[in-house]
Amino acid sequence: MKSYILQKAKKLTLENNPPRSVKSGEIKVKIELAAITSTDLSIFNGKLKCDLPLILGRQAVGVVSEVSSENTMGLQKGNRVIIEGFLPCGKCYFCKTGQSGKCENMEVLGFTREGLFSDFAVVPASLAHVIPDHMSNATALYTEYVSMALNIIEKIKLRPGEHVAIMSANKLGYVLAQLITYYQGIAIVIDNNQQQLDKLAEENINYTLNSKRNSWKENVSGITSGRMCEKVVYLTNAVLNFDDAVDICGINGTICIAGFLPATDTCSLGEVHNKQLTIVSEQTSQGNFSAAINMLATRTVNVTRLSGETFRFAELPEKMLAMTQEEAKYGGIHFKID
């Protein structure tokens, strides 16, 4: 098994390890295509701390090459699968009461346990989801974002006709805007990346505001007839401040802090209290993976405009050294496993 292991910040080494057999409840997957996320790049650059050495990566598609004798998921050798990156513990109160998305001890591939930047990966069978034959590997890699977006929509209790400001046009924000529209909400996407905003306009998202323009908050007021937004989703790698989210959220509204990267901004609690706002958060994609696959398979969510660079496994170290957070944040950066 060939794996890229992060030894320290900005130092990946390729190591050959003996093939690992699967244990009860596990499967082995031949990885075909993997994605580099903002989180992967933050860990690689030493900005997000975790225990090293570590195999990075939590988004990958591959083919099942081996299953254990205890195969409760019904997986078969040869199945094409997308691997889910968040693993609930199965033991805490929330897991035992059917709320695994709230797991107190959630593990994350490529962060708290070995990831997927390998030619083969052995993972719990519960993390593997079969994808349709007609779905491309590149499309399947966006399943995590769709699943997290569905979690966000559930968390904010979206109702038809509500204005939802999405503070970032990153990959998650791009997918979320489409789903807000699908569920009859009114999406308002705010970012300083005009190219990404233009892509969203091509997806029939009517309101895309460039935060470099001083009038963007006045534009939100105009779109909402002065009421401001009933719901605001503040993505944790947004270019804006959390106080901006508070400003554009209407009285008795809801703000959802969302994304895997930790939120580091502060806010004025006085204004939150004066407006009687509800603050919720969403950090994982756990719980809606099957629904997300269906959304992509039926093209309810379109990710074709997010396609970016695809390179070979051998190029991974040099590509990550040259990569910017901006590139990892907005585009699909994938590599093929030889």
Domain that holds residue 33: 2-142+303-336
What pLDDT is attached to residue 74?
84
Q: Are residues 95 and 183 in the same domain?
A: no
Bond into 53 cis (ω within 30): yes
Alpha carbon distance 281, 270 (integer Å): 19
Residue 309 CA to its chain's centroid (Å): 18
What pLDDT is attached to residue 116?
97
pLDDT one-digit tens code per residue, 60-73: 999 999 998 776 67
Other beta carbons within 10 angstroms of residue 202's beta carbon come to 9
Q: Are residues 173 and 243 in the same domain?
A: yes
pLDDT one-digit tens code per residue, 185-244: 999 999 999 999 999 999 999 999 999 998 999 999 999 999 999 999 999 989 899 999
The SS3 of residue 241 is coil
pLDDT one-digit tens code per residue, 105-160: 999 999 999 999 999 999 999 999 999 999 999 999 999 999 999 999 999 999 99
* Mean pLDDT for the chain overall: 94
Alpha carbon distance 284, 311 (integer Å): 27
pLDDT one-digit tens code per residue, 231-287: 999 999 898 999 999 999 999 999 999 998 877 778 889 999 999 999 999 999 998
pLDDT one-digit tens code per residue, 159-182: 999 999 999 999 999 999 999 999
Domain harbouring 278, CATH code: 3.90.180.10
Two tokens at 317? 């170290």
Is residue 180 a part of any domain in this protein? yes
Q: Are residues 133 and 229 in the same domain?
A: no
Question: Total structural domains in the chain?
Answer: 2
Model's pTM, two decimal places?
A: 0.95
Q: Are residues 155 and 250 in the same domain?
A: yes
The SS3 of residue 169 is coil
pLDDT one-digit tens code per residue, 282-301: 999 998 999 999 999 999 99
What pLDDT is attached to residue 72?
64
Q: Provide CB contacts within 8 A for 227, sequence distance 6+.
A: 163, 250
Terminal-residue alpha carbon distance, the chain: 12
Q: Are residues 76 and 186 in the same domain?
A: no
Alpha carbon distance 116, 87 (integer Å): 14
The SS3 of residue 158 is coil
Two tokens at 314? 């051998």
Q: Where do we find the tokens 């323009």?
A: 213
Q: How confident is the model at residue 319 (pLDDT cuts 50, 70, 90)?
A: very high
